Amino acid sequence: MNEDLKIIIEQLELEKNIDRETLLEAIRSAIEIAARKSMNPKAKVTVEIDPQSYQFKVYEIREVVENVTDTASQISLEEALKLNPDVVVGDKLKVPTQPKDFGRIAAQTARQVILQKIKEAEREQIYNEFKQREGDLVTGTVKKVTKNEIIVTLGKAEAILPAKEQTTGEIYRPNDRIKAYVLKVDLKDKSQKGSPPVIILSRATPYLVKALFENEVPEIYEGVVEIKAIARDPGKRTKVAVVSHDPNVDAIGACVGLKGARVRAVVEELGGEKIDIIEWSPDPAELCVRALSPADVLEITIDEENKSIRVVVPHDQLSLAIGKHGQNARLASKIVGWNIDIKSEKVPEQDNILDTE
């Protein structure tokens, strides 16, 4: 077993990056526990391992006495002197011993520890890999679909797409390819060292749209064009506010692409979700006007203290400004970061009023 064990440990150190000393200590400790179970429960047992030969040796720790009254914990001075001529009464002496079936016990224990360490190493590798990919797009294969979640295979790892992170209207089946945003990576239970890390995906987060644009628009990836704000109603509509840091680059044009190719690729990945791209402005009033597009704004009043904006739109555009179920106004409010009240220009007492707070 010793030669085989040496080969296995060296391979694990090379291929799985498992520290040799750590693995040997884990095996030694496990064998020590197993050896104690096969011996007198009163005996104090220790196991040592030679790091060169990988030979395991078992010892009982006994007290040197003149007259033995407890064979499990004592050794006579006469017998002790045969092992170590320098011992005296009262010393603790390591006495070599060989538990019954020790070879089998050691082999089984070593195998169990190695398998456990492999699982821990793989868990650590997966965790480290995907922890660094939080905020990235990943493409995987649907493994299983349940009422509460979709299990996605990502190479050697498995991820979860919870129901709340799914987009309304999207349906997936086993073996479907799926692209998603890595929302969070965590260790489920640090006490259970073999349990895999939990990788949470999202198709509903606005950051998915941002990541898709980063993939499709080189100017965004390179930092020439920046997405300053994004608001999303998953599966229905997203508003994106962009700014160019290069006067020679049109931010909106870069995102739309030639003949709309870039934005169309994002829309297709989102299953037809509508996307409004507007130019960012540090002025809340100007940004509000742009964010409420396609509706026209006739008047605008700013309340900086309460971070509130009151706008007046043409009577026939009130429903357009508000949007279905308040969607347009709600998304505009998120883009600006202020509350927006919308009123029509005619018959104020009959106007519909929407407060997005």
Q: What homologous superfamily is domain 205-280 in, according to CATH?
A: K homology (KH) domain (3.30.300.20)
CB–CB of 265/216 below 8 Å?
yes
Give dist(CA 51, CA 32) in Å, integer: 16
Is the domain spanning 133-200 CATH 2.40.50.140? The answer is yes
Domain-wise residue ranges, the chain: 2-122, 133-200, 205-280, 284-357
In this chain, the answer to whether the domains covering 2-122 and 205-280 adopt an identical fold is no
CB 75 within 8 A of CB 95: yes
- Predicted local confidence at residue 192, as pLDDT: 56
Query: What does the alpha-carbon distance between residue 156 and residue 314 come to, in Å, rounded to a whole number?
Result: 57
The pLDDT value recorded for residue 354 is 57
Residue type, 237: R
Give the containing element (helix H, strand E) for 111. helix 102-131
pLDDT at residue number 86: 92
What was the pLDDT predicted at 151?
A: 97
At 88, is the secondary structure helix, strand, or coil? coil
CA distances from 11 to 19, 29, 84, 267 (A): 11, 21, 39, 48
**pLDDT tens across 45-73, in order?**
898 888 888 888 889 899 999 999 988 88
Cα distance between residue 306 and residue 310, in whole Å = 11
How confident is the model at residue 193, as a pLDDT? 60
pLDDT score at 352: 54
Rounded to an integer, what distance in angstroms lies between the CA atom of residue 289 and that of residue 298? 9
Task: Pull the structure tokens for residue 170.
Answer: 């999207």
Q: What is the pLDDT of residue 103?
A: 76
**24 vs 6: CA distance, rounded Å:** 10
Please tell me the predicted confidence (pLDDT) of residue 190: 56
- Extract the tokens encoding 124: 């650590």
The pLDDT assigned to 249 comes to 97
pLDDT in tens, 192-247: 566 789 999 999 999 999 999 999 999 999 999 999 999 999 999 999 999 999 99
H/E segment holding residue 318: helix 318-322
The pLDDT assigned to 23 comes to: 84
Give the pLDDT score at 182.
Answer: 98
Domain 284-357: CATH superfamily, name plus number: K homology (KH) domain (3.30.300.20)
Residue segments in the chain with a per-residue pLDDT below the cut of 70: 1-2, 189-194, 346-357
pLDDT at position 112, please? 85
Q: In a 10 Å sphere around its CB, with 0-12 CB exposed, 13-18 middle and 19+ buried, how is residue 85 labelled?
A: exposed
Statement: 2-122 belongs to CATH 3.30.1480.10: yes
